[in-house]
Amino acid sequence: MSKEKDLRLSSILIRWYNRNKRDLPWRDTTDPYIIWISEIILQQTRVDQGYAYFTRFVKRFPSVDLLAQAEEDEVLKLWQGLGYYSRARNLHAAAKIVLEKYQGVFPQDYTDVLSMKGVGEYTAAAIVSFAYDQPHAVVDGNVFRVLSRIFAVEEPIDSTKGKKLFSQLAQELLDDKRAGLHNQAIMEFGALQCVPVSPDCNSCPASVMCLAYAQDKVNVYPVKAGKQKVRARFFNYFDVRYGDGYMLLHKRTAKDIWQGLYELPLIETAEAMSIEELHRTDSFRRIFENGDGLHIKYITQMKHILSHQAIHAVFYQVEVRKVSAVDGYIEVRASDVDEYPVSRLVHKYLEKM
């Protein structure tokens, strides 16, 4: 016994979508690889921000085997500036697995897609519905917002209960016969019509069935419980120049921000420190113990804000006649530094120099 679905909302959203959708390149294909790339890029990222990255990425890596064969540094370089760099590392690792485990054929089974690194429930549903029209409902930030308003859901979207509740609700509302279209429609509706701040409910075709609108409580949904705090960190960067145009770089490998990216020699301190204080640290002595004719000059300081950290960075330029190899650092030609993937913070410094 299957109960007939109520597809009135789906019908409204699809009608709205057909009239208002943006023309986006990843909607012109059913190639799961292309759709996968677009979905990873768009995780926690606005279309406007990810668009150019998508274009460059699929131009350089038009197929999964070409991505799998690339060096991780090149993948990260293409990702530079976009943030959440684990997306790029996971994308690259997953491409290799597709090549080896699936002989280069992108998996079609939802569970197989879900098992890929960097692919969670949202992305798996997006890929199989857009590429194969399989009936899996997407639940992203847009869907949370649209459904929480229409049904006046009081459960916080960042709670385990809330996530389950919205998944079930989204799946109940899904038009199984046109899942891809339905999923595109509800997300685009959230992105353009049912926007986070002061949506234009007067022009909304779903306002007739929107409980939040009826109660004049559109601005209270979606309900969120979370509050994240920001950690302060102090980065002291040393732009070490020596010889005939050489400098030192270090690849971040720790489980921390910017994993896989390169940066200048760094001394992180628990609080702000003067250069005189830095001189006395073990880290300083380790980096510069073999420094001959050391000359340090203050260059600039920058405050770099992440969603969860506030980094206070100070940059110094260090001139030495010669440095011997220091463990963990690589020596590169200063003219080649643009080849290496770096954080926005380091990039902003480098482009000033």
- Active-site positions read 39
Options 181, 191, 248, 287; binder of DNA; rule CB under 7 A: 191
Scanning 165-173, 192-200, 239-247, 331-339 for contacts with DNA by CB under 7 A, the matching segment is 192-200
Count of residues touching DNA (by CB under 7 A): 65
Report the site for DNA in 98-157 (rule: CB under 7 A): 116-124, 126, 140-142, 144-145
Q: CA angle 196-200-206, nearest 5°?
A: 90
Q: Check residue 190 for interaction with DNA (CB under 7 A).
A: yes
Contact partners, residue 64, CB within 8 Å, separation at least 6 = 33, 95, 98, 99, 104, 106
Query: How far is CA 251 from each of CA 73, 225, 259, rounded to the nearest angstrom?
Result: 10, 37, 8
91 in contact with DNA (CB under 7 A): no
Contact flag: residue 160 with DNA (CB under 7 A): yes
Is it true that the peptide bond before 222 is cis, omega within 30 degrees of 0?
yes
Q: Is 85 in the site for DNA (CB under 7 A)?
A: yes
Residue type, 344: R
Q: Could you say which DSSP state residue 222 is in?
A: S
Identify which range of 8-16, 167-175, 188-196, 279-287 contacts DNA by CB under 7 A: 188-196
Cα gap 54→70, rounded to integer Å = 17
Please tell me whether residue 344 binds DNA under the rule CB under 7 A: yes
Which CB sits closer to DNA, 26 or 242? 26
Please report, for residues 248, 283, 343, 349, 350, the alpha-carbon distance to residue 301 in angstroms, rounded to integers and kept in the order given: 19, 20, 15, 9, 13
Q: Residue 107 Cβ, how far from DNA at the closest point, in Å?
A: 14
Q: Is 178 in the site for DNA (CB under 7 A)?
A: no
What's the DSSP call for residue 107?
Answer: P
**Residues of the shown chain interacting with DNA in the complex, contacts defined by CB under 7 A:** 24, 26-27, 38-39, 42-49, 81-86, 90, 116-124, 126, 140-142, 144-145, 159-161, 184, 187-188, 190-191, 196-198, 222, 224-225, 228, 231, 255-259, 304-309, 343-345
